[in-house]
Structure 1
Amino acid sequence: MWYLYGLTILAGLANAVQPGQNATLSKSLGLPITAALLTLLISTAALLVGGLAIGKLEMPSGQQLVQVPWWAWLGGFLSVLLILAQLYASPSIGAASFLGIIVTVGVAASIVLDNYGWVGFAVHPASLWRILGAVLMTVGVAMVALF
């Protein structure tokens, strides 16, 4: 299980670097929507090659497809939203403010999702300490954005 923490750390680093890469691609091409599409195509190709290489790429059955909750299909739209924010917002507000806002809003929203067990998460009550942590993160991000 320790490797999952390593994977998460790498994802955090990627989350900090990716907005700059995607914004530079957009600026270099002068075509933001095309840059977003290229980013998603490269992601798809990487998943395809990786899935084939490790033998984990399979087609779901019709029964599996119909068992998926309706809201689970919307994750792709959220990926597009994140990429568009990277292309348009991150160059203007900077890496630290952008990532701070993304992470802090994500933590605050996650506390609500955990508290109610929404979108497939196990229930983890929104304790005073969890809420205080989110408040402190908000104060920290405000300081990063303002100074």
Structure 2
Amino acid sequence: MNGRTIFLLAALAGGAVLPVQVALNTLLRRYVGEPMQVTFISYLAGALASLVVCFIAQYPLPTAAALGQTSWWMWVGGCLGTFYVWSTIFATPKIGAALALGLTIAGQMIAALFLDHYGAIGLTRFEANPTRITGVVLVVLGVSLVAYVKR
């Protein structure tokens, strides 16, 4: 296994758990009610799980000096995650998990292509060459096929 393989497998595994997360959150909505309430519960459970992992791994708390070097906009990631979780809980019952996640992936790929191309928000720059653009177009076409379902 080369050095890159572990990162590829981690990303694949992270993607594989998303449909399970969406299904569990959608099921929880039946009992709790509103998508934002389920989003809160999901993030609370995730925060507790993260806290336990940090405790077990004995990660030190970040220093005030390190936190002081950040900008306010660096903290928006959690808000964006909240929007993502809410959007899937909101949309999945009406359009299905496959289409909800397909659109999520298409949106991720389009946005990521731009972020990579410009090296935005501190990312390493990866050019949006014809091969990468074609890959994103194929993802969008695949999602279009998933969306073309007659009930």
Tell which has more relative contact order, 1 or 2 (C-alpha 8 A, sep 6+). Answer: 1
**Same structural fold, with TM-score higher than 0.5 when normalized by the shorter chain:** yes
Match of 1:22 among 18, 21, 25: 25
Bigger drift between 63-72 and 94-103 goes to 63-72
Runs of 4+ residues over 4 Å off in structure 1 = none
Instruction: Extract unaligned runs of 5+ from structure 2.
Output: none
Q: TM-score, normalised by structure 2?
A: 0.90
Distance 1:66 1:52 in 2: 23
1:1-147 pair list within 5 angstroms: 1=3, 2-56=5-59, 58-147=60-149
For structure 1, which segment, 134-143 or 60-69, has the greater mean C-alpha deviation from structure 2 after superposition?
60-69
Q: Which moved more, 1:38-47 or 1:7-16?
A: 7-16
Q: Which runs of 5+ in 1 are unaligned?
A: none
User: Percent of aligned positions with the same letter in both sequences?
Assistant: 30
CA distance in 1, matches of 2:32, 2:64: 40
If the length of structure 1 is used for normalisation, what is the TM-score? 0.92
Whether contact under 8 Å (1:97, 1:145) holds in the other structure is yes
RMSD: 1.4
**How many residue pairs are counted as aligned between the two chains?**
146
Counterpart CA distance in 1 for 2:124 and 2:11 is 19
